[in-house]
């Protein structure tokens, strides 16, 4: 009989739904020593329950996150709230001895993130920053190919993250437009992902220099007839120098008309190259100068075979998996780490490193200059 | 409190796993009047259990399908066995008053399929042939665009279904190589899908003429040292005339080196065209002659928005779904049909119509001639 | 001082223009022992001159092809007329001792084609059927890769040739709609190319079985107010068996809405695969099972480097060439063959072999049965 | 009888060859009042002749550019030399009353470029900066769509220009590595193109901030055994703000392993978007929010139809043109401008505007700060 492990989730919006799905399904695809029990779903916004808990498999719903964090029956806290609550909840959870999963960006700034990391470490709990794209099989394979030296020394890391949900001027004012709640706009939401992938695939950065833009400065606050001033960036771009000599370029925007969730990476090395696009997340592009010269070309690897990372858990070759499955990989690996008391990545330190870069970019924009990274 | 509906699955291999996943998840994504109870998993092969039931969420495991079919607690029988058992199980299940889902191809031949349809109708139970690709959102959208007249009169329906898992001569002899168990090889397995999609998107056929091939004639029977003669086709191709004047071309092969599960459709009409590829199942290609002439081109529609079929149930735009989700759509719609006592498609009649075409192609190959379709 | 070689072209329409361009440019890209002199352009249709000769670089214009063919100053006759004149002109030219280039399809039927071949051989002149797609660099590279055994034994050759210029019902009746002038429609015009490529890349065929269609049965004859009956096929499809055990599938249509000149090949072998699309003629797709298993994928080779066939003559890597350049390759190689008195392919025998297949397909359609190929 | 116009070309390397080809062919595709006479080819490097003139159609070869520029028989001077000679030759040619075509980047810096512009204007001669990519038909179509307001207000202009010919550390030291001859490396060679396209498609810039890199610092000087220090950048990236509120991102590198001549543009506007890739130069990607919402997607327009810019001169739809054809468009339009005494773009002023931006980027890199553009 398997040991039971009790989970609570805080935040019942989009990310809460995606994580719930993973907790619900993880035992079907992972061989785990635990039986996952989905105990409590929590959201401080009373409008958020509407059958959320029942529909997604949680035993009950709570409105007080403090109560949840301190509930003795809970082993794991999964934080899916807006960014301004991450820090308080995570610190309280860790202090209460809970393992913690936290959505990205980890915090409102690097100071908060650092404290979260230190608190979790001190408490001896497992902590994970939910950079789920590391566990897209194609990204895991990219890392493997890089680690094997197959693309050699990396010269360029170019990342774009394109969405277009804000191009409509009638899109209402929401919490994500308010920098005091969201921390930032496209930058924290989208560059957080690409910066973490840069850390994962290339390494740390020395210096950054950025620019940003609010294209539509006011939006209507639903039901009020008033307009809210948009303080979170619609787009942030930046240049970077990596400590290993590579140079980086990052573009994040919610004004890329026609692109829905298009995160594209291009990594050029001395022996080969890699390309990736999140909207075709089952594919990895790879170019190798080791191929016979007249046969060289970018390959599209269908990363759906049992020889590929994570795919043994899924379906036969060519049967693609969806975006949500990355959360199952994340949760599954997290549970293994708890079970084995082994490290799991990306942890809060990775969340902190990402936050340091995001902060440096913001500072560089404010100062209109290059900023050295120090952590 | 929701009514409970009790399900049993028969067949604990690949398809059994995919269907189990859908039964497990359907309540998370569909608003249903039922609470689905996964009662019994069954496989007559004693090696198939290995935690199958427990891992995938079934309450218990059985070896006798007859027992399952006649169990009074069961409301729905889901048949995922090899093809030669479909008929016996489905007929017994319908006679026992169970609603029936059956994997494709529906039967070993059209006579069996017809009997299955007639038995289910007479029993007044709901019946579904599991042509899950009809419920790929992009395919549903294709149908919608066709129904709206947007591509006009259809001239060509060209379908290929490419896999490559048999190119390795050391791949062992399995039941799928034995025509007496599998009915046929690539033909029944793969053309079944594309023929059903042709019926769904274009209409019925008048006449067909085909060709097939076994490229590797003998394969080793695992653990015996002996070789088995391959009687099921490695590839089957055929030409077709539709009753509405369109012409069709179908290629199914397990020797398309490099293609894993590449089902590609090209549909050319008098006003526009559609294209689809199962390995990029979140995308639909569409060309319209209604566009301004110098702006005409094939569009890649990312079929991931809430305005697209089935997508309101899932994630925000650009967050792709996987192959397995089509089963959730299928099961969800089936449960709705039971609840409303409304028709559901593709039913056993569609399974029968598909079988009629498959049989006619086989006959045309045997006779080396065109065969008229009659049903 | 280079020897002068004198050329005449017969047929001043689209193909006449494309060939003229090649004669004009060939010395810039080929090192030839000849200086090409563009002596005479000829068209029996008096409306065809309109500065054709002057604009494209021909010294004079003639209306009588007989006069041109027998002109003592001419060394090479290049035939770009409608298909029904190929035979008469080519035979006369060969008998007059001229080297002959002839557009495809070589003749109205295989009997004519055979006579053309025999006459040219007997006359000891060089003869070329203008299957220019053999000299697309990517196709030449495909042949090289096949010859090296890189894709192993070929199992499938699937070719489609899609155009859409006839979908408009107001497109007028032209000579290409009249089977008595054109021989056939899509079949002779488009399948001629893909059949020749099949011969070039796979080998000869044993048997074929086809189908065809006229989608719009009457079209208006310009300036007459009357309608002409369309006797040439809008689309022809067929299945084939190659002597080496491969199976083939061919689709040619002028009703593929949205496709302009889309000739796509897919060749699947036991060790690898190749793909090609004429609208992206600088690219070759290649899949190799020799690659490390988790790195296998279809490569897109940009066939634009000096290590690729024909590319040393052109621009640096990545600077693509156009459709017309294939004619320069063809003419350049033909002139080399004349100079060295060496064989050149595809010659009239290849044109004849193609015609044999086209005829067999036509016969199979008429008889609604498979036809054995014999030549 | 057409008037004769006499041309001389200076610079007999890659660009000299490409321009020669255009002078040779232009009369075949343009209806011009001139007969082009290719009088003199010139290169100061005695090794450059090797049949260049004869092979490419020039009447004679000269080593002194001064002699050519002052030759009374010459009407047009076409400058294809390394960048450090552009200024001297162009100024001398204009003063001698010749029309001038000059390769890009126009000069070593904006001061030189301005003087070239002013001298040419004062002399009343026609002047053209050879930004040939403006005359890729797909780019011309992009401009037309933008001018029609179809993509609305532009928010983002993202350009990358990827080549990989320097990744090989054994690639020798050539003039392009020496900043004193080449002005810069990737920056002047490649960003010159994308900056001009930004000007053409979006408008002028306010401010820029860049970064650059030499990845391999020394290379062997052929035949000397010594190494030369690379002073020209291997890669230059920069961010930009346009005066109309758009933001820009530019990446140019010769270290993009696997990319040969990959210039990719992505332009996002409030109503739609455009995409382009030079390696597929016959295609334009277009997304329109005017399409019915569930049918929106990026279209691939095959820009090969007679309704598209420049295509009436070429072949039927789907028959692609090559990179070199852009020079024919450029030369043809230049000759028309001479004939009509009408303006022609991009002229030396456009060359100057581009140079101003390139200089500002270089200054921003030197100062590690943003630079305001002023011209």
User: pTM of this prediction?
Assistant: 0.97
CB distance A295–C301 less than 8 Å?
A: yes
Which residues on C lie below 8 Å from A311 (Cβ)?
none
Task: Centre a 10 Å sphere on the Cβ of residue A57 and count the other Cβ atoms it contains.
Answer: 18
CB distance A272–D258 less than 8 Å?
A: yes
Interface of C with A in 144-203 (CB under 8 A): 144-145, 150
Candidates C209, C245, C251; nearest CB to B209 = C209
Q: What is the mean pLDDT of residues D319-332?
A: 96
pLDDT at B374: 85
Is residue B107 pLDDT above 70, yes or no?
yes
Percent of chain C surpassing pLDDT 70: 100
Using CB atoms, which chains have 3+ pairs under 8 A with B? A, C, D
pLDDT at C256: 98
Shortest CA distance to D214 belongs to which of D173, D260, D265? D173
Give chain B's mean pLDDT.
Answer: 96
Tell me the CA end-to-end span of chain C in Å, nearest whole number.
45
CA distance B43 to chain D (A): 43
Alpha helix segments (H runs only) across chain C: 14-29, 52-56, 65-69, 86-95, 110-123, 137-147, 179-182, 186, 192-201, 325-340, 348-367
pLDDT at A1: 66
Q: What is the mean pLDDT of residues A58-82?
A: 96
Which residues on C lie below 8 Å from B366 (Cβ)?
none
Which residues on B lie below 8 Å from A280 (Cβ)?
280, 320
pLDDT at B1: 66
How do strand C235-242 and strand C205-213 relate by DSSP bridges?
A: antiparallel
Is residue B187 pLDDT above 90, yes or no?
yes
Which residues on A lie below 8 Å from C305 (Cβ)?
293-294
CA distance B288 to chain D (A): 10
**In A192-246, where do the E strands start and end?**
205-213, 218-220, 227-229, 235-242
Choose the mutation target among A151, A276, A290, A294 for the interface with C, i.e. most C CBs under 10 Å: A294
* Spatial distance between the Cα atoms of C368 and B97, rounded to a whole number of angstroms: 47
pLDDT at A336: 96
Residues B228 and B174: beta-carbon distance below 8 Å: no
Which residues on C lie below 8 Å from A294 (Cβ)?
141, 144, 301, 305, 307-308
Provide the 3-class DSSP secondary structure of residue C371: strand
Which residues on D lie below 8 Å from C56 (Cβ)?
28
pLDDT band at D1 (very low <50, low <70, confident <90, very high): low
pLDDT digits (tens, 9 = 90+) for A342-357: 999 999 999 999 999 9
Query: Would residue B51 be called left, alpha or beta, if left means φ above 0 and alpha means ψ between -120 and 50 degrees?
Result: left
Query: Would residue A111 be called left, alpha or beta, if left means φ above 0 and alpha means ψ between -120 and 50 degrees?
Result: alpha
Percent of chain B surpassing pLDDT 70: 100
Q: How many helices (H) and strands (E) does chain D have?
A: 11, 17
Cβ-Cβ contacts under 8 Å for B373 (sequence gap 6 or more): B204, B205, B206, B207, B208, B356, B357, B360
pLDDT digits (tens, 9 = 90+) for C298-323: 999 999 999 999 999 999 999 999 99
CA distance A301 to chain D (A): 16
CB distance C322–D318 less than 8 Å?
A: no
Measure CA D141 to chain center. 18
Measure CA D24 to chain center. 20
Quick one: D272 exposed, middle or buried, by C-beta within 10 A (0-12, 13-18, 19+)? buried
Is residue D306 pLDDT above 80, yes or no?
yes
pLDDT band at C110 (very low <50, low <70, confident <90, very high): very high
pLDDT digits (tens, 9 = 90+) for B239-281: 999 999 999 999 999 999 999 999 999 999 999 999 999 999 9
Q: Give the single-character DSSP code of D294.
A: G
Choose the mutation target among D146, D147, D297, D317 for the interface with B, i.e. most B CBs under 10 Å: D297
Provide the 3-class DSSP secondary structure of residue C248: strand
Is residue C375 pLDDT above 80, yes or no?
no
Query: Would residue D209 be called left, alpha or beta, if left means φ above 0 and alpha means ψ between -120 and 50 degrees?
Result: beta
Choose the mutation target among B53, B189, B258, B260 for the interface with A, i.e. most A CBs under 10 Å: B260
CA distance A292 to chain D (A): 13
Candidates B156, B237, B256; nearest CB to C239 = B237
pLDDT digits (tens, 9 = 90+) for A81-115: 999 999 999 999 999 999 999 999 999 999 999 99
CB distance C295–A288 less than 8 Å?
A: yes
CB distance C269–B257 less than 8 Å?
A: yes
CB distance C278–D304 less than 8 Å?
A: no
Please indicate if any CB of chain B lies within 8 Å of the CB of C82: no
Is residue C349 pLDDT above 80, yes or no?
yes
Is residue D50 pLDDT above 80, yes or no?
no
pLDDT at C154: 98
Is residue D211 pLDDT above 80, yes or no?
yes
pLDDT band at C343 (very low <50, low <70, confident <90, very high): very high
Candidates B160, B257, B271; nearest CB to C287 = B257
What would the two tokens of residue C257 be? 């809405």
Q: What is the mean pLDDT of residues C143-167?
A: 98
Q: What is the mean pLDDT of residues D133-149?
A: 98
CA distance A325 to chain B (A): 9
* Spatial distance between the Cα atoms of C81 and C92, rounded to a whole number of angstroms: 14
Choose the mutation target among D149, D154, D156 for the interface with A, i.e. most A CBs under 10 Å: D156
pLDDT at C1: 66
Residues C228 and C173: beta-carbon distance below 8 Å: yes
CB distance B260–A318 less than 8 Å?
A: yes
CB distance A279–B320 less than 8 Å?
A: yes
pLDDT at C118: 98
Q: What is the mean pLDDT of residues B38-67?
A: 91
* Spatial distance between the Cα atoms of D76 and D127, rounded to a whole number of angstroms: 10
pLDDT band at D183 (very low <50, low <70, confident <90, very high): confident
Q: Chains A, B: CB contacts under 8 A, how many?
A: 100
* Spatial distance between the Cα atoms of B110 and B112, rounded to a whole number of angstroms: 5
CB distance C299–A301 less than 8 Å?
A: no
Element housing C277 (H / E): strand C272-277
What would the two tokens of residue A67 be? 């109560």
| Nearest chain B residue to A16, by CA | B315
* Spatial distance between the Cα atoms of B287 and B296, rounded to a whole number of angstroms: 7
* Spatial distance between the Cα atoms of A175 and A163, rounded to a whole number of angstroms: 17
CA distance D85 to chain A (A): 32
pLDDT band at C51 (very low <50, low <70, confident <90, very high): confident
Query: Which ipTM value was assigned to this complex?
Result: 0.95
| Nearest chain A residue to D252, by CA | A156
Angle at D348 between CA D346 and CA D353, to 5 degrees: 85
Is residue B315 pLDDT above 80, yes or no?
yes
Interface of C with B in 207-226 (CB under 8 A): 209-211, 213, 215
pLDDT band at B130 (very low <50, low <70, confident <90, very high): very high
Q: Give the single-character DSSP code of D221.
A: P
Which residues on D lie below 8 Å from A210 (Cβ)?
239
Q: What is the mean pLDDT of residues A63-91?
A: 96
Q: Give the single-character DSSP code of A104.
A: S
CB distance C257–B287 less than 8 Å?
A: yes
Candidates C28, C163, C322; nearest CB to D325 = C322
Is residue B46 pLDDT above 90, yes or no?
no
* Spatial distance between the Cα atoms of B215 and A356, rounded to a whole number of angstroms: 59
Please indicate if any CB of chain A lies within 8 Å of the CB of B21: yes
Q: Give the single-character DSSP code of D42.
A: E
Q: For the residues of B15-65, what is the DSSP string, one character each? A: HHHHHHHHHHHHHHHS--SEEEEEEEEE-SSTTS-SSHHHHHT-SEEES-H
pLDDT band at C114 (very low <50, low <70, confident <90, very high): very high
Please indicate if any CB of chain A lies within 8 Å of the CB of B50: no
Alpha helix segments (H runs only) across chain B: 14-29, 52-56, 65-69, 86-95, 110-123, 137-147, 179-182, 186, 192-201, 325-340, 348-367
Q: b vs e for A295-332, b when ≥16 Cβ sit within 10 Å of the residue's Cβ? A: bbbbbbbbbbbeebbbbebbbbbbbbbbbbbbbbbbbb
| Nearest chain D residue to A269, by CA | D257
Which residues on C lie below 8 Å from D322 (Cβ)?
319-322, 324-325
Shortest CA distance to B36 belongs to which of B53, B52, B24, B18? B24
Interface of D with B in 290-349 (CB under 8 A): 291, 293-302, 305, 307-308
CA distance B148 to chain A (A): 24
| Cis geometry, peptide bond prior to residue C111 (ω within 30 degrees of 0) | no
């Amino acid at each position: 009989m398997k040991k039971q492990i009790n989970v609570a989730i805080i935040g019942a919006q989009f990310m809460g739904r995606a994580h719930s799905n993973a907790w619900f399904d993880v035992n079907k695809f992972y061989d785990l020593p635990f039986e996952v029990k989905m105990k409590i779903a929590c959201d401080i916004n009373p409008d958020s329950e509407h059958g959320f808990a029942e529909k997604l498999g949680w035993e009950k719903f709570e409105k007080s996150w403090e109560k949840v964090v301190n509930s003795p029956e809970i082993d794991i806290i999964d934080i899916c709230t807006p960014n301004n609550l991450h820090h308080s909840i995570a610190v309280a959870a860790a202090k209460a001895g809970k393992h913690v999963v936290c959505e990205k960006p980890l915090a409102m700034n690097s100071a908060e993130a650092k404290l979260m990391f230190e608190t979790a470490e001190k408490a001896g709990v497992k902590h994970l920053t939910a950079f789920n794209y590391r566990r897209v099989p194609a990204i895991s394979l990219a890392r493997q190919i890089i680690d094997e030296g197959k693309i050699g020394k990396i010269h360029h890391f170019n990342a774009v993250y394109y969405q277009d949900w804000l191009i409509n001027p009638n899109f209402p004012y929401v919490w994500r437009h308010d920098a005091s709640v969201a921390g930032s706009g496209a930058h924290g939401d989208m560059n957080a992902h690409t910066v973490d992938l840069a850390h994962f695939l290339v390494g740390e950065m020395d210096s950054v220099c950025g620019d940003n833009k609010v294209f539509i400065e006011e939006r209507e606050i639903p039901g009020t007839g008033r307009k809210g001033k948009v303080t979170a960036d619609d787009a942030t771009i930046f240049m970077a120098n990596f400590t290993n000599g590579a140079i980086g370029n990052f573009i994040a925007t919610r004004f890329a008309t026609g692109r829905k969730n298009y995160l594209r990476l291009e990594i050029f090395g001395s022996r080969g190259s890699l390309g990736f696009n999140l909207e075709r997340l089952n594919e990895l592009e790879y170019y190798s100068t080791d191929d016979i010269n007249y046969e060289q070309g970018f390959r599209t690897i269908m990363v759906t075979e049992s020889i590929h990372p994570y795919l043994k858990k899924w379906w036969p070759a060519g049967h693609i998996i969806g975006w949500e499955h990355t959360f199952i990989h994340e949760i599954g690996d997290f549970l293994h780490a708890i079970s084995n008391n082994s490290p799991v990545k990306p942890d809060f330190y990775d969340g902190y490193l990402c936050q340091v870069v995001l902060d440096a970019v913001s500072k560089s924009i404010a100062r209109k200059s290059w900023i050295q990274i120090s952590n």
